[in-house]
Amino acid sequence: MDKSLFLNKLTELEWEDFELKEAKAEVPKSSWETVSAFANTSGGWLVFGVKQTGSLFEIQGVANPEKIEQDFLNTVRSEKFNVYLGVKSVKYEFEGKVVLAFYIVASNKKPVYFNTQANTYIRRGSADNKATKEEIDAMYRDQTFGSKSSEKVIGTSRDSLNKISLLRYRDYMTRFNPNVSYNRFDEDEFLEKLRIFEDGCCTYSGLLLLGKREHIEKYFPDFRIDLLEIPGDSYSETDSRYTFRLEEQENLWEYYFECFARLKSKVDVTFQVSSEGFGEELSTGLIAIREALVNLLMHADYFSPAHARIRVFNNSIEFYNPGGLPKSISELKDKDLSIPRNPVLSKLFRMVKLAENVGFGIDKIESNWMQYNGSIPTYTLDFDSVICSFALVSNSIPEQVTEQVTEQVTEEVTEQVLFLIQVMSVEYYAAVELKVLVGIKHHPSFLYNYLQPALALGLIEMRKPDSPKSPKQKYRLTSKGIHLKKEMY
């Protein structure tokens, strides 16, 4: 973090990753809560020497920067914390006053706590909150991210697998991935090669996908994928909890088909025969919904007390996935990373062409839903869950007025607004991130020349329109802004 970005942080209340402490003469005791919270969440900056009163900031500096820096670093790297923490130290000087900034790296050995496990904290918004037992348990499960569901389930056998589901799975593979080598194996080799069955036991992934329900429930007592249809735009707008609830299914393979059949009725599709002679229902909306459903089944934390849930409202479809992401959504998209929570389960879906070979499919979901509906799915990320929501009300621009709208908007916007639209992608940005993208350090100039005109023209929108001054406010392109961006190329 350079000095200009540091000053921007003081004028922007986008502080999920930024904490101020006065620390005039010593390291404040509350610092250890913040260190734990940053290490257990997504990392962040801890700054000593700045006093905050409401929305006002006073740079006071620290009295003995060398001593405070050494005291802080020595404590973080001592046995006070249960794991070694990576810390970056930066020193700033403002008119003779020294400010110390420490970047706490997110740990891959969570939970991180000081003295006792009871002192485990996580970051929510701009606050350090003591972690609950369930959240601490989730951290321990994340230590086995990518391996737990690949383990053998002692006490299971071939009889734990549902023969009809296995036959359906093999038939599906034969039809939709006919050239894959697994098709030529007999059943024993098929199960072993795909790691559905190992050394006389099912793996957790094999059991979840193709097992008998009574055997699955021995290890996952509350096993289910909840699909609810709710007559309203939210629970608060309806007298009935739901008008439809999916019945319990045998395993994940059966849940996939039942969920997909129900969700398919929510989007428009066309039917045609493929070159292989199979019937295909085609729709970019259907592709996006199917990808979201498969992502839910592949990446859910099945060891969590929560369970996967799909809620269909009048105006949206919401996929709730227990289990946090291994990286930020922007990093998963930008680097096309493939870091599955359940790698064997992910492979089993890939082998029948229901999932991509790489990545989380986020770009595929967004591009197809944008093409179908004119809107982009929204994400609500929490420490131990992900919610992906699809708007069912189209926000697209009618084709017959596309040229008129583009011409009108182009005449009204300035070069600064056009540049802002050009550098933005479909994700949400904090204001400080947008200033970095357009290369503007002066906050008023950014507001009056870039942000406010783009908002007024409907080219970008707020994540929290009812709270425009929210400390968590972020911005993204609207469908109108996306269309204008496409026209610029």
Q: Categorize the per-residue pLDDT at 364 as very low, low, confident or very high, splitting at 50, 70 and 90.
A: confident
Q: Categorize the per-residue pLDDT at 245 as very low, low, confident or very high, splitting at 50, 70 and 90.
A: very high
Write phi, then psi, for 226 (nearest 5 degrees). Answer: -85, 125
Where exactly does CATH 3.30.950.30 map onto the chain?
3-142
Place of tokens 């296995």: 166
Give the per-residue pLDDT at 294: 94
Give the per-residue pLDDT at 261: 92
CATH 3.40.50.300 fits 399-487, yes or no: no
Least confident of 88-102, 246-260, 363-377, 393-407: 393-407
Give the per-residue pLDDT at 487: 75
Assigned CATH topology for domain 3-142 = 3.30.950
One-letter amino acid identity for 256? Y
Write phi, then psi, for 367 (nearest 5 degrees). Answer: -65, -40
Give the per-residue pLDDT at 339: 64
Q: Which residue has the higher pLDDT, 205 or 284?
A: 205
Q: Which residue has the higher pLDDT, 212 or 95?
A: 212
Q: Categorize the per-residue pLDDT at 355 as very low, low, confident or very high, splitting at 50, 70 and 90.
A: confident
Which tokens go with 241? 């909890």
Number of residues that this document lists for the chain: 489
Contact 309, 320 (CB under 8 A): yes
Mean pLDDT along residues 14-24: 73
pLDDT, tens digit, 9 for 90 and up, residues 153-176: 999 999 999 999 999 999 999 999
Give the per-residue pLDDT at 280: 58
Q: Which residues contact 262 (CB under 8 A, 6 or more apart)?
A: 227, 229, 244, 246, 312
Burial of 34-71, coded b for 16+ CB within 10 Å and e otherwise, reads bbbbbbbbbbbbbbbbbeeeeeeeebbbbeebeebbee
Q: Categorize the per-residue pLDDT at 449 as very low, low, confident or very high, splitting at 50, 70 and 90.
A: confident
Which tokens go with 229? 């249809």
pLDDT, tens digit, 9 for 90 and up, residues 393-444: 644 434 443 444 444 444 467 778 888 988 888 888 988 888 888 887 767 6
Domain 158-391: give its CATH code. 3.30.565.60
What letter does residue 450 receive in the DSSP assignment? Answer: I
Place of tokens 């939970």: 111
Contact 460, 476 (CB under 8 A): yes
Mean pLDDT along residues 81-91: 89
Give the per-residue pLDDT at 131: 87
Nearest-5° Cα angle at 409, 404 to 413:
160
Mean pLDDT along residues 226-230: 94
pLDDT, tens digit, 9 for 90 and up, residues 20-58: 888 888 999 999 999 999 888 778 889 999 887 766 778
Place of tokens 């005791």: 29
Where exactly does CATH 1.10.10.10 map onto the chain?
399-487
Measured CA to CA, the distance from residue 87 to residue 10 in angstroms comes to 21
Where exactly does CATH 3.30.565.60 map onto the chain?
158-391
Give the per-residue pLDDT at 375: 82
Measured CA to CA, the distance from residue 65 to residue 99 in angstroms comes to 8
Host H or E run for residue 87: strand 87-94
Q: Which residue has the higher pLDDT, 12 or 209?
A: 209
Measured CA to CA, the distance from residue 381 to residue 322 in angstroms comes to 11
Instruction: Please state, rounded to an integer, the average pLDDT across all residues of the chain.
Output: 82
Contact 19, 34 (CB under 8 A): yes
Give the per-residue pLDDT at 404: 43
In the predicted structure, residue 329 carries a pLDDT above the cut 70: no
Give the per-residue pLDDT at 144: 63
Burial of 102-112, coded b for 16+ CB within 10 Å and e otherwise, reads bbbebbeebbb
In the predicted structure, residue 368 carries a pLDDT above the cut 90: no
Is 320 strand, coil or helix? strand
Write phi, then psi, for 12 (nearest 5 degrees). Answer: -115, 130
DSSP letter for each residue of 470-487: -TT--EEE-HHHHHHHHH
Q: Which residues contact 224 (CB under 8 A, 6 or more apart)?
A: 248, 249, 307
Q: Categorize the per-residue pLDDT at 232 as very low, low, confident or very high, splitting at 50, 70 and 90.
A: confident
Give the per-residue pLDDT at 272: 55
- Counting Cα atoms < 13 Å in the Cβ hemisphere of 237 gives 8
Least confident of 65-69, 136-140, 192-196: 136-140
Q: What percent of the chain has pLDDT over 70?
A: 82
pLDDT, tens digit, 9 for 90 and up, residues 93-128: 888 889 998 989 888 788 999 999 999 998 876 788
